[in-house]
Amino acid sequence: MKGVLFFLGSIFRWPVQKTNEFLIFHVYLLSIYGLTILLRNVGFSLSNFVFTVGLVTPIGYLIYNGLPLDCLDYKSAIKRELSSQN
């Protein structure tokens, strides 16, 4: 339960601590959603593929840039967060 509460708190702290990343991420998601709607209205059958690839791309980008394997382990996440604040 402590891990869930820690990551929930991290989600609430993220927009305040890293506003630029937060805004870029959400503008990206909205643009993927808008592009999917546009492609569906125009009649392209690849709109679902564009949506899926668009949502999976940020995860692939994070893994490519070195997402730690223990990213969901709350003890190591707490250590990383405390070391980044010092």
Distance CA 69, CA 48 (A): 29
Q: pLDDT of 16-63, one tens digit each? A: 888 998 999 899 999 999 999 999 999 888 888 999 999 999 888 888
The pLDDT of residue 86 is 64
Tell me which residue range forms the domain holding 16.
2-85
Q: pLDDT of 67-84, one tens digit each? A: 777 776 778 877 877 777
Distance CA 29, CA 14 (A): 16
* Total number of domains constituting the chain: 1
